[in-house]
Amino acid sequence: MSIFYFIAFLSILFAVLVITAKNPVHSVLYLILTFFTITIHYILLNAQFLAIVNFIVYMGAIMVLFLFVLMLLNLNVESEPVKSNIVKFAGVIGGCCLLATLFGTLKLAATSSPVVLQDQGLGLVKNLGKVLFKEFLLPFEISSILLLSAMVGAVLLAKRERQPDGKVF
Amino acid sequence: MDLLQIGIKAGLVVIIFAISLVVAMYSTYAERKVAAFLQDRVGPNRAGPWGILQPLADGGKMFMKEEIIPARANAFLFIVGPALAIMTACIGSAVIPWGQEIKTGSLTIDLQVTDINVGILYIFGVVSLGVYGVMIGGWASNNKYSLLGAIRAASQNISYEISMGLSIIALLMFTGTLSLKEIAEQQHGANWNVLYQPFGFLLFMVCSFAETNRSPFDLPECETELVGGYHTEYSSMKLGFYLFAEYINMFISSAVMATLYWGGYNYPGMDWVTAHVGPVIGPLIGTAVLFGKIFAFIFFFMWVRWTIPRFRYDQLMDLGWKSLIPLAIGNIVLTGVWITVYDKFFK
């Protein structure tokens, strides 16, 4: 339990650092650390497969792309676009609504009993695969089609258009 | 786990760590000797007999060099870069089975640091983490050549990770397990996976060349275009760490290739040998065989470096996205068809 509190503390600390860091590249690096602590949370929950997939997909691929884009843009304080007052005001209202909702939910929620691990092999690849491909086959396939359509959409957007005069740009 | 087993594991970790470092050290020597051999030269021959003390001389030189941190560089990340590079290179060896279990009396020694049941995915995760060392170092140097090298490394790693993952999937369909220990055990004797997945092995090997930034895919440190690539601004032991990380990566990826496809510690007639030399020496001979395979792969890495010229960057991306990924998907489909046909008609 003490490991959990320590890791939870770290996740929240890094998550706060993500939004307080001045440099966008530092923000991304803190976000990577946040994902790493979340991976440890998964391992504590005995979900090995989910942990390693979180590790590979979020830390190893998505965050590399984030870092990649930020390095190319090379954002810094001087070039940061200043947002208009309307956007800032909308942001404050949105944040307050989220805070009120969170407080309301937490107040209503009853303290749940601690989760007891019923099956040691619960999060292992074999069991996860069986559940995914038997009980949740339809949602699984639907989400894979969703991902596929996103991929096709990205390719279409990135595709060079051929102009009427034959130029490619 | 009792105290003895923990002690054994700790000893194993230290031994494997030391072996990785020594192999990486002598890979630098071997690289120069192989280059000399392929180019009909003598190579390093001054430090000690046949120049075998050359790596020590090089290491000493690295330590003595002046350490420079560029004025406008991000000093903290500048140091984190090479540290991350060498750390991710070293942790990959934790799941590789170095040999069969050694049984003496009541004591069983497992020559693998840990057998997590998602072993392959662990290696895959470590590989995908490896790029951060290069990216952070390249960005923190505040140099355009370093940044270009870092960006090249990132896009190259991401592109080749996909086809690497896809080529592993075909192997996993075949073996039915993610644990490297079980995969090694399945290849008992000469029943090696490369016989069933020759094409998957080729794809995996090409991708591991790209993932370790080795020639012909060493564009992140392409000296003709980018001075030194991501490590342009580095000097002293921080540069040494980057170079060292590359050789450790080469060692680990050779070990992974040998374990996944070329039978790991298995060799034909291993049962007969083990029955004759006893249950302690037998597995150690297997370990020696594994190292023989690893050294053969390292030699192959070097052979390719001095044989094939470097790719152009657009050619690299074309090869990754337009050739390797479709081929890897085709390999998965073929493997699936073969498994179905085999289960239906030959079982």
Extents of the domains making up chain B: 67-345
Q: Which residues of A touch B117 (CB under 8 A)?
A: 48, 124-125
Which whole number is the average pLDDT over A73-83?
64
- pLDDT > 80? residue A121: no
CB B237 within 8 A of CB B62: yes
The pTM of this model reads 0.84
ipTM above 0.85, yes or no: no
The CATH class given to the A1-79 domain equals: mainly alpha
Q: Which residues of A touch B84 (CB under 8 A)?
A: none
Q: How many whole angstroms separate alpha carbon B212 and alpha carbon B261?
A: 18
Q: Which residues of B touch A125 (CB under 8 A)?
A: 117-118, 178
Candidates A57, A46, A54; CA nearest to A4 is A46
Q: Which residues of B touch A (CB under 8 A)?
A: 77, 116-118, 121-122, 124-125, 127-129, 131-132, 135-136, 139, 147, 150-151, 154-155, 157-158, 161, 178
pLDDT over 70, % of chain B: 100
CB B269 within 8 A of CB B232: no
Question: With bands split at pLDDT 50, 70 and 90, how would you rate the model's confidence at A114?
Answer: low
Nearest CA in chain B to A126: B177
pLDDT of residue A94: 93
Say whether residue A122 is in contact with chain B using an 8 A CB cutoff: no
Q: DSSP readout, B150-165?
A: HHHHHHHHHHHHHHHH
Q: Specify the range with the lowest mean pLDDT, choosing from B70-84, B106-120, B171-185.
A: B106-120
Torsion sign across C-alpha atoms A132, B171, B337, B176 = negative
CB B102 within 8 A of CB B279: yes
pLDDT of residue A74: 66
Hey, are the CB atoms on B125 and A72 less than 8 Å from each other? Answer: no
> In this predicted model, what pLDDT tens digit does every residue of B34-90 receive, in sequence order?
888 888 888 888 887 888 888 888 888 888 888 888 888 788 888 888 898 888 888
Nearest CA in chain A to B176: A126
Q: What is the average pLDDT score of chain B?
A: 85
Nearest to A56 among B121, B132, B139 (CB): B121
Question: With bands split at pLDDT 50, 70 and 90, how would you rate the model's confidence at A76?
Answer: low
pLDDT of residue A99: 93
B274 vs B206, more confident: B206
Question: With bands split at pLDDT 50, 70 and 90, how would you rate the model's confidence at A163?
Answer: low
pLDDT over 90, % of chain B: 3
Q: Which residues of B touch A32 (CB under 8 A)?
A: 132
Say whether residue A18 is in contact with chain B using an 8 A CB cutoff: no
Question: With bands split at pLDDT 50, 70 and 90, how would you rate the model's confidence at A122?
Answer: low
CB A35 within 8 A of CB A54: yes
Nearest to A61 among B121, B122, B128 (CB): B128
Task: List, in sequence order, every beta strand (DSSP E) within chain B.
Answer: 102-104, 107-109
Distances (CA, A) of B269 to B191, B200, B272, B282, B285: 11, 26, 5, 11, 12
Q: Is B189 helix (H, G, I), strand (E, B) or coil?
A: coil
> In this predicted model, what pLDDT tens digit does every residue of A4-51 receive, in sequence order?
888 889 999 999 998 888 888 888 889 989 999 999 988 888 778 888
pLDDT of residue B25: 87
Alpha-carbon dihedral A124, A126, A130, A131, rounded to 10 degrees: 0
pLDDT of residue A142: 93
Say whether residue A155 is in contact with chain B using an 8 A CB cutoff: no
